[in-house]
């Protein structure tokens, strides 16, 4: 079984990205993946600082890093904040990128050699495209292989029906296609 973690960059009640993340979990499971749905509100992650890292590395940062390390693939679903990823998600990615134990500075054990994919839901007509471009760059920097498929959900406030499904067939089909490719690539390289 291929292990994939789904990480949503919003903990807002009623979050559209959380709704998209739920669909991604379902699509990944339909592809036979073992999915860990990561709720970042369950992790106590202070804003990264070198002083904290040196003197009191947060236990939950270690826990998140270990969770990522145990996966073959990572799927990130992030809102766009001022043209970039949410600070909640960037901070989580940053903490999990830091060396622990006697690792080298660039060990990147949470990320190296894993497949990753990106999705975004936004109230804007552009669906969070600018944020995903940054997210792709970040995920490449930490040495994941980011698959080309992605999902943008524009007009997110009107995009989901009462059951939480996407009303529009295009993003709905892209959720399935992205999930299928992520599982295939994670399996191939993992
Ligand atoms: C600080 C801030 C900056 C934002 N910047 C953007 C933006 O650049 N582009 C965009 O499409 N939406 C932007 N938004 C709106 C978000 O897309 C919207 O709040 C969305 O619902 C957040 O995702 P969520 O529903 O998963 O919490 C911004 C929201 C906040 C709070």
- Domain of residue 90, CATH code: 3.40.50.360
- Report the alpha-carbon distance of residue 99 to residue 78 in Å, rounded: 24
- Residue whose CA is at the smallest distance from ligand 1 atom 30: 81
Q: What pLDDT was estimated at residue 100?
A: 95
Specify the length of the chain in residues: 190
Ligand 1 atom closest to the CA of 157, numbered from 1: 21
Q: What pLDDT was estimated at residue 58?
A: 97
* Residue with the two structure tokens 């766009």: 80
Give the tens place of pLDDT for each residue, 33-73. 999 999 999 999 999 999 999 999 999 999 999 999 999 99
H-type alpha helices, 42-168? 50-55, 59-69, 87-96, 129-141
Q: What pLDDT was estimated at residue 40?
A: 98
% of the chain residues with pLDDT over 70: 100
Ligand 1, CB within 6 Å, residue ranges:
10, 12, 15-18, 79-83, 122-124, 128
**Environment class of 148 (CB within 10 Å of its CB; exposed 0-12, middle 13-18, buried 19+):** exposed
Instruction: Output the average pLDDT for the chain.
Output: 97
Range of the domain at 153: 3-189
> Residue 128 C-alpha to ligand 1 middle, in angstroms?
8
Q: What pLDDT was estimated at residue 190?
A: 76
Number of domains in the chain: 1
Pair 110, 97: CB distance under 8 Å? yes
Q: What three-state secondary structure class fits 23? A: helix
């Amino acid at each position: 079984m291929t292990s994939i973690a789904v990480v949503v960059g919003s903990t807002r009640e009623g979050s559209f990205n959380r709704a998209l993340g739920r669909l991604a979990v379902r699509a990944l499971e339909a592809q036979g993946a073992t999915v860990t749905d990561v709720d970042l509100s369950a992790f106590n992650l202070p804003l990264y600082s070198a002083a904290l890292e040196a003197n009191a590395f947060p236990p939950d940062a270690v826990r998140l890093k270990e969770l990522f390390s145990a996966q073959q693939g990572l799927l990130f679903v992030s809102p766009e904040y001022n043209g970039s990823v949410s600070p909640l998600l960037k901070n989580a990615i940053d903490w999990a990128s830091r060396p622990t134990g006697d690792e080298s500075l660039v060990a990147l054990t949470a990320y190296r050699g894993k497949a990753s994919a990106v999705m975004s839901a936004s109230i804007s007509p552009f669906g969070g495209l600018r944020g995903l471009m940054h997210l792709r760059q970040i995920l490449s920097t930490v040495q994941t292989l980011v698959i080309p498929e992605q999902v943008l959900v524009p007009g997110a406030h009107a995009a989901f029906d009462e059951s939480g499904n996407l009303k529009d067939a295009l993003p709905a089909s892209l959720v399935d296609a992205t999930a299928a490719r992520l599982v295939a690539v994670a399996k191939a390289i993992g």
